[in-house]
Amino acid sequence: MGKLFGTDGIRGKAGEYPMTVEMAVRIGRAVALTFTGTGGRSKIVVGRDTRQSGPMLESALVEGIGSAGTDTWLAGVIPTPGVAFLTPAVEANAGIVISASHNPYYDNGIKIFNGKGYKLSDEIEAEIEALIGRRGADGRSPSPGPRAGRATTNSKLIESYITFLNSCLPSDLSLKGLKVILDCANGATSRVAPGLFSNLGARVETLGTRPNGHNINDACGSEHPEGLIAKVLNTRAHLGLAFDGDGDRLIAVDENGGILTGDQILAICARDLKQKGRLRNDLVVSTVMSNMGLGVALQDMGIRHETAGVGDRYVMEKMIATGAVLGGEDSGHMIFADRHTSGDGILTALKLIEALQAADQPLSELKQVMTVYPQVLINVDVQSKPDLATVPAVAEAIKAVETKLGSQGRVLVRYSGTQPLCRVMVEGPSETETREYCIQLADIIKKKI
């Protein structure tokens, strides 16, 4: 069967292994057996984004969950962090989201949360994979549970999530007079963000709020901010906020059209929490992909900095281990652990605005809290993923660039956990030099892998 789980759940092209109806049935059953067993009343919350294949996979998951005697509470189209919140809020045994995040519409995926709303450990993922692959002596999947579970659509689930988001802001905070452009990537935040920000008093204009099953992340959202930049400049908005398809990440645009990376948002929120005395242990967690400038900025602010592996679940694991309340990734995943168990793009947007109002500065000035070192990232398509250290030409090229950069930069080459890509990232003292080194490494990887 091969390994199913990547850095963020199971993902692939819809209709092809492992994103087939048959596999979704088996995944649903395996998750139900892992978290609920076959006795007593139990339930799993299921949500999805706006992809055309979502309802198909949802039906298959429900069948698998029901075959284990477990009920399904269907939240419909809802951001991934909404399911993470709802799972413990309604005392569900687990939560499942059908989404491929920022990937194109033809991909889909399955993300799983435990009963406390956290993403799964490697050990639990291995248990689920073993159940998915297990078959009886006659070659069939394990027999159904003692009774069939029921599926119920609950429209109040998304309302509960919106109420939660509102509760994360100070009671006296108003967005009145603030002009905000929201790009919802034609994804799951389309149902939540526009109304939420308008009800808080902001003057809202939107992009990417007409999902049709095919246009999720298509030239919009956090991966494609060009349209958002133009809209911010043309309407003289105070800021722009772009989410990805499932709403767990955020990229911001300042009033001058400048893009703020996840690292810059993390630095801004870290300073705000520290000034308010709410940054527990004066500590922030990010990943090895974070820009070197983040570490420098945090040090200047008297904030300790810990790094974790790539993936917001690894950030959360490190946060729990160190007692941190703030962590995130340069890609835009931010975790406010005193509020949520998962990265949440809408919550991050609200916290960024809270920091913006506290500082009483335009975003273009506030982002100067961190200087972004020149960084170039190139994604290289690969057919296989051999250990890079076992490919002499690649290993030697990486070492040569690292030697040339010395203490003025760094190289990070890693495979994507969700796509057939090798990510080549170089940071250096100048844009020209950094890009040159990155292209060199990418070209070698194209030839050798």
Q: Which two tokens stand for residue 59?
A: 């039906």
In the block, tokens 């190139």 appear at 378
Our answer to whether residue 160 is catalytic in this structure is no
In sequence order, the 6+-apart residues with CB closer than 8 A to the CB of 398 are: 388, 411, 413, 441
- Whether the ω angle into residue 142 lies within 30 degrees of 0, i.e. cis, is no
Select from 274, 265, 281, 417 the least CA-distant residue to 333.
265
Distance CA 256, CA 238 (A): 9
Distance CA 206, CA 235 (A): 12
Strands 179-183 and 203-207 turn out to be parallel
- Quick check: 194 and 204 in contact, CB under 8 A? yes
The torsion angles phi and psi of 322, rounded to 5 degrees, stand at: -105, -10
Q: Which two tokens stand for residue 36?
A: 């609920």
The torsion angles phi and psi of 31, rounded to 5 degrees, stand at: -65, -45
| Catalytic annotation, pick one of 42, 67, 101, 286 | 101
What distances in angstroms separate CA 212 from CA 19, 189, 218, 242, one per listed residue? Answer: 20, 14, 11, 19
Distance CA 316, CA 118 (A): 8
Q: DSSP states of 52-80 as a string?
A: TTHHHHHHHHHHHHHHTT-EEEEEEE--H
Give the single-character DSSP code of 26.
Answer: H
Amino acid found at 148: A
In this structure, the chain runs to a length of 449
In the block, tokens 């246009």 appear at 215
> Phi-psi category of 101—alpha, beta or left, where left has phi over 0 and alpha has psi -120 to 50?
left
- Quick check: 138 and 336 in contact, CB under 8 A? no
Q: Which two tokens stand for residue 402?
A: 């690292």
Catalytic residue annotation: 101
